[in-house]
Chain A
């Protein structure tokens, strides 16, 4: 969607990803969403005096996987304390990586081939969960707050994009693609609704060719829908201000899903000053070249690679970013398509059938790959019409049947399979030896007699081409 009056949107995204570790980043408390409040807490994540953090090996491993998948360089890194007063962290600081993050300078490729730069993907700890109590139920006007520290210390990787995104749709595509990548690495369960993936958007507008405008950071984007709505709202708010000759104030703004508006979140009396300093209780992370290589080599195929493979399976007839291929990768149905192709099915037909008829992973799991391939072959050989093939496919998924020919026969769809045709041809040869001798002698016109007889005998289901071929073979022509 283009903005009004020639304004250009500039968006950079910060995505917080909770890592799918068993334990928290600096202590051995369970990292478990949905548990009873304050049941996964210990002296470390409560910030009790004398407690010391020890870094979780798996959190580092996941962070490296994310960095590798995003084509970042994995670098030696250290942790910092980000100091602030807010009861979501009992220590009054959050341990994060500031100027020496573990992953730097990568990119994410969208299905259409557009690359969004990744500035960094650093490690930090999540904060506790606050609930604001009072008449409004919101932070403004709350009388007091209740805090659950189960989430305090859950490992996060924050992925910071460069301000390369130019439309709300692109922002949505970026988050969707990033989510697929994070899930593919095993680092995340990708559940936005549980807060496993949280997105902040830095939004500004400018006239093309001009310098970046002042940006605002939009928080509370809990779904892809919120993300696009909030970006569009915020862009128009800034355009209206600029066109009225007013200045944009750099600030953090809260997206309200019900109102469909953003509003200023923090008072500006005291600019945020986090006084970062190196965390003295943690030593640097310096992964060896071997470790970095092992992590990179163990990564499964990423969605972009899988889309490319599927495109190749169609002989390039469908682009990697085409809708059916994107759907198949989203649903993890690649194996069905590639398996069907390996069994002789046509790639393009396989992609379209899977994207349009199979659609979901659950349905795909009910389908026998060899049977699916056989169905594609039947359709390609014109033994079934497109409508018949779809009906057979639906029944194969409903009954988990593996033989499409049997279903086609039972439904009276079939033309005739080659085994039946062979028997028929042999019977006709035996019944008409004189005609067959003429054929053997080279009188090919007699073939028409046999085809006619085969049609009659099969009630019109015989494939003329197939019968002719079999006759010529039997006659040694």
Chain B
């Protein structure tokens, strides 16, 4: 974590998240994300030997539900909200070869 975050890193992360950023946004996010990472770096530098890792902020485990079927939502209603539907299914643009 010693290296500063670069513009190229931000462009890469934005592409993974399918975000289109303008030059000014890349510039500001590079600074903001670098600050966030610097903070994480500060935290990471603390001596945590003997500290039990926190798996979740809530002090709960095994929150479970009985395996019992309940009705979901109506297909017609849901498909009516979809941008595109066909043959009782969601219709989506072709998957491979998409441009980002």
Q: Which positions in A face B, CB cutoff 8 Å?
A: 21-23, 27-30, 36-43, 45-46, 54-60, 76, 78, 83, 85-87, 100, 130-132, 134, 139-140, 142-149, 266-267, 270, 273, 275, 278, 280, 282-287
Q: How far is the CB of B59 from chain A (nearest CB, A)?
A: 9
Quick one: given A55-B65, A78-B55, A275-B16, are A283 and B60 in contact (CB under 8 Å)? yes
A41 touches B69 (CB 8 A): no
Residues of B within 8 A of A149 (CB): 90
B73 touches A43 (CB 8 A): yes
Q: In the complex, A130→B73 CA distance in Å? A: 20
B67 touches A21 (CB 8 A): yes
Dominant SS at the A interface?
A: loop
* Residue in B61, B65, B93, B97 whose Cβ sees the most chain A Cβ within 10 Å: B65
List 13 A-B residue pairs with CB atoms under 8 Å apart, sorted by A's residue number: A23-B70, A38-B79, A41-B78, A42-B72, A58-B67, A59-B67, A78-B56, A87-B90, A87-B95, A134-B94, A144-B91, A147-B91, A283-B55
Q: In the complex, A58→B68 CA distance in Å? A: 10
Task: Return the chain A residue nearest B69 by Cβ.
Answer: A30
The segment from B24-32, B34-42, B43-51, B81-89 that touches chain A is: B81-89
Residues of A within 8 A of B90 (CB): 38, 87, 146-147, 149
Residues of B within 8 A of A148 (CB): 88-89
Quick one: given A87-B92, A142-B94, A278-B55, are A28 and B62 in contact (CB under 8 Å)? no
Residues of B within 8 A of A145 (CB): 91-95
B61 touches A28 (CB 8 A): no
B89 touches A37 (CB 8 A): yes
A278 touches B56 (CB 8 A): yes
3 closest residue pairs by CB, A with B: A42-B72, A58-B67, A28-B70
Task: Return the chain B residue nearest A38 by Cβ.
Answer: B75
Residue A142 contacts which of B56, B67, B75, B95 (CB distance < 8 angstroms)? B95
Q: Which positions in B face A, CB cutoff 8 Å?
A: 15-16, 18, 55-56, 58, 60-70, 72-73, 75, 78-79, 86-97
Q: In the complex, A27→B70 CA distance in Å? A: 9
Q: How far is the CB of A325 from chain B (nearest CB, A)?
A: 35
A56 touches B61 (CB 8 A): no
Quick one: given A144-B92, A149-B90, are A46 and B78 in contact (CB under 8 Å)? yes
Residues of A within 8 A of B72 (CB): 27-29, 39-42, 45
Q: How far is the CB of B9 from chain A (nearest CB, A)?
A: 12
A39 touches B61 (CB 8 A): no
Quick one: given A28-B69, A41-B72, are A60 and B64 in contact (CB under 8 Å)? yes
Residues of B within 8 A of A59 (CB): 67
B73 touches A286 (CB 8 A): no
Residue A144 contacts which of B15, B65, B94 (CB distance < 8 angstroms)? B94
Residue A139 contacts which of B18, B65, B70, B95 (CB distance < 8 angstroms)? B95
B56 touches A146 (CB 8 A): no
* Residue in B68, B78, B90, B93 whose Cβ sees the most chain A Cβ within 10 Å: B90
Q: In the complex, A275→B63 CA distance in Å? A: 25
B89 touches A54 (CB 8 A): no
B75 touches A284 (CB 8 A): no
Q: In the complex, A463→B97 CA distance in Å? A: 83
A57 touches B73 (CB 8 A): no
Q: In the complex, A100→B54 CA distance in Å? A: 13
A146 touches B75 (CB 8 A): no
Task: Return the chain A residue nearest B67 by Cβ.
Answer: A58
Q: In the complex, A134→B96 CA distance in Å? A: 13
Q: In the complex, A275→B14 CA distance in Å? A: 12
Task: Return the chain B residue nearest A270 by Cβ.
Answer: B15
Residues of A within 8 A of B75 (CB): 36-39, 41
Residues of B within 8 A of A42 (CB): 72-73
Quick one: given A41-B78, A78-B56, A85-B18, are A144 and B69 in contact (CB under 8 Å)? no
Q: In the complex, A132→B93 CA distance in Å? A: 10
Residues of A within 8 A of B60 (CB): 283
Q: How far is the CB of B80 from chain A (nearest CB, A)?
A: 12
Residues of A within 8 A of B61 (CB): 76, 283-286
Residue A283 contacts which of B18, B58, B88, B89 (CB distance < 8 angstroms)? B58
B67 touches A57 (CB 8 A): yes
Q: In the complex, A140→B70 CA distance in Å? A: 38
